[in-house]
Amino acid sequence: MKSSFQLALVSSFICCLSLSACSSNSTDTTDTTDTTDTTDTTDTTDTTDTTDTTDTTDTTDTTDTTDTTDTTDTTDTTGTTTGLNPALFISGALASDPVIVDCTLSDGSESTCYEITSVGAPAGTAVGPFCPTSINSDAADVGIWQSGDGIVYDVNGDFIVNLPNIYGDDNWQLYDATTGLVYVTDTQIACAAAAQPNVEEEYQNHCVECSLDYVDGGIPATYLIPTTPMLADAPGAIGTEVGIALNGGTLAGPAPVADILANYTIAAFDDCGGHINLNDGYHYHAATGCTEVAAQDDGHSAMLGYAMDGYGVYGMLDTDGNESTDLDDCRGTTDDVRGYHYHAASAGENMFIGCFSGLTEGANEGGQGGGPGGPGGPPE
In degrees and rounded to multiples of 5, residue 353 shows phi and psi of -130, 165
How confident is the model at residue 364, as a pLDDT? 52
The mean-pLDDT minimum among 142-151, 265-274, 317-326, 349-358 falls in 142-151
State whether residue 226 is helix, strand or coil.
strand
List pLDDT tens digits, range 315-370: 999 999 999 999 999 999 999 999 999 999 999 999 999 999 999 998 554 443 33
How confident is the model at residue 246, as a pLDDT? 98
How confident is the model at residue 136, as a pLDDT? 97
CA dist., res. 323 & res. 349, Å (int): 15
CA dist., res. 105 & res. 342, Å (int): 20
How confident is the model at residue 375, as a pLDDT? 30
377 exposure class (CB count in 10 Å sphere: 0-12, 13-18, 19+): middle
The ranges assigned to domains in the chain are 2-65, 88-380
pLDDT at 311 over 60: yes
pTM listed for this prediction: 0.76
Residues 6+ apart with CB under 8 A from 338: 79, 82, 300, 312, 314
How confident is the model at residue 363, as a pLDDT? 57
How confident is the model at residue 47, as a pLDDT? 39
Strands (E), 318-360: 332-335, 339-343, 356-358
List pLDDT tens digits, range 177-226: 999 999 999 999 999 999 988 999 999 999 999 999 999 999 999 999 99
Q: What is the mean pLDDT of the chain?
A: 81
User: Taking every pair of C-alpha atoms in the chain, what is the biggest distance, in angstroms?
Assistant: 148
Residues 6+ apart with CB under 8 A from 74: 80
pLDDT at 56 over 70: no
CA dist., res. 71 & res. 228, Å (int): 14
List pLDDT tens digits, range 63-120: 444 444 443 333 333 333 479 999 999 999 999 999 999 999 999 999 999 999 999 9
